[in-house]
Chain A
Amino acid sequence: MSELAAYTVIGLGLGAIFALAALGIVLIYRATGVLNFAHGAMGMFSTFVAWQVFYGWVHPSWMPTWALTAVAVLVGLAFAVVLGLVLELAVFQWVRTRPPVTKAVITIGVLLALQSAASLIWKNNQYHLPIYLAPQTWTREVAGVPIGANTIVIVVVAIGLAFGLAAFLQFTRLGRAMRAVSDDPVSASLWAVPVGKVGAVSWMLGSLIAAVAGILITPFINFDTTSLTLIIIDALAAALIGGLVSLPLTVLGGFLLGLLETYPTIWIQSLGFPRLVALLVIIAVLIVRAPRGMPVATR
Chain B
Amino acid sequence: MILGHPVRLAVAVAAFLMLALIPAGFDVGLKFDAALSVVWAFGILSIVLLTGYVGQVSLCQATFAGVGAYAAGMMFNTFHAGYVVGIVVGVVAAFALGVLVGLPALRLRGITLAIVTLAIALVFDKYVFQDHIFDWFSGGSGGWRVDGANLLGLPADSSSHLLAGYEVLLALFVLVALLMVNLHQSGAGRRFRAIRDSELAASTMGVNLTRYKLLAFGLSAGIAGLGGSFYPLIAGSVSPQPFWVFTSLQLSAIAVLMGVRYVPAAALGGFFMAFVPDILTRYGHGTFMGHSYDISYDWFSLALGALLIVQLILLPDGVWGDLHGHVAKAMAAVRVHTQRRVRVA
Contact = CB atoms under 8 A, between A and B. Distances in A.
A290 B302 contact: no
Contact of A279 (B123, B296, B299): B123
Contacts of A152: none
B111 interface: yes
Interface in A91-107: 91, 94-95, 98-102, 104-106
Contacts of B309: 91, 106, 109-110, 113
A106 B308 contact: yes
A290 B107 CA distance: 8
Contact of B253 (A102, A112, A282, A287): A112
Nearest to B128: A272
B246 interface: yes
Interface string B49-63: 000000001010000
A212 to B, nearest CB: 23
Contacts of B246: 112, 115, 226
Given A108-B253, A124-B298, A273 B116 contact: no
Contacts of A116: 298-302, 305
B127 A120 contact: no
B108 A286 contact: yes
Contact of A113 (B109, B115, B252, B306): B306
A48 interface: no
A278 interface: yes
B129 to A, nearest CB: 9
Interface stretch (A179-187, A194-202, A232-240): A232-240
B138 to A, nearest CB: 11
Given A106-B308, A233-B122, A283-B104, A101 B131 contact: no
A282 B299 CA distance: 33
A268 to B, nearest CB: 9
Interface in A18-49: 35, 37
Contacts, number: 152
Contacts of A124: 298
Contacts of A114: 305
B146 interface: no
Nearest to B250: A112
Interface string B130-143: 11110000000000
B104 A112 contact: no
Given A95-B313, A230-B122, A120 B108 contact: no
Nearest to B131: A272
Given A108-B249, A111-B249, A275 B122 contact: yes
Contact of B119 (A101, A112, A275): A275
A104 B111 contact: yes
A108 B308 contact: yes
Contacts of A273: 127, 131
B306 A109 contact: yes
Nearest to B313: A94
Contact of A112 (B108, B111, B308): B308
A275 B256 CA distance: 27
Counting chain A CB atoms within 10 Å of each CB, the highest count among B57, B246, B300 belongs to B246
Given A101-B114, A272-B126, A275-B123, A112 B245 contact: no
A237 B119 contact: yes
Question: Which size bracket describes the interface of B in this complex?
Answer: 35 or more
A65 interface: no
A175 B253 CA distance: 33
Contacts of B110: 99-101, 297-299
Nearest to B309: A109
B56 to A, nearest CB: 10
A294 interface: yes
B312 interface: yes
Interface in B245-281: 245-246, 249-250, 252-253, 256
Contact of A109 (B119, B122, B312): B312
A73 to B, nearest CB: 27
A102 to B, nearest CB: 6
A120 B296 CA distance: 8
Given A270-B133, A286-B107, A294 B112 contact: yes
B308 A240 contact: no
Nearest to A116: B301
B118 interface: yes
A69 B307 CA distance: 36
A233 B130 CA distance: 18
Contact of B115 (A270, A276, A282): A282
Interface of B: 57, 59, 104, 107-112, 114-116, 118-120, 122-123, 126-128, 130-133, 245-246, 249-250, 252-253, 256, 296, 298-302, 304-309, 312-313, 316
27 contacts: A98-B316, A100-B110, A101-B111, A105-B253, A109-B305, A109-B307, A109-B309, A109-B312, A110-B309, A112-B305, A113-B301, A116-B301, A116-B302, A116-B305, A233-B122, A271-B130, A272-B130, A273-B131, A275-B126, A278-B119, A278-B122, A279-B116, A279-B120, A283-B104, A286-B112, A286-B116, A299-B110
Q: Ordered nearest first, which 3 A-B pairs have the shortest CB separation?
A: A272-B127, A113-B305, A112-B305
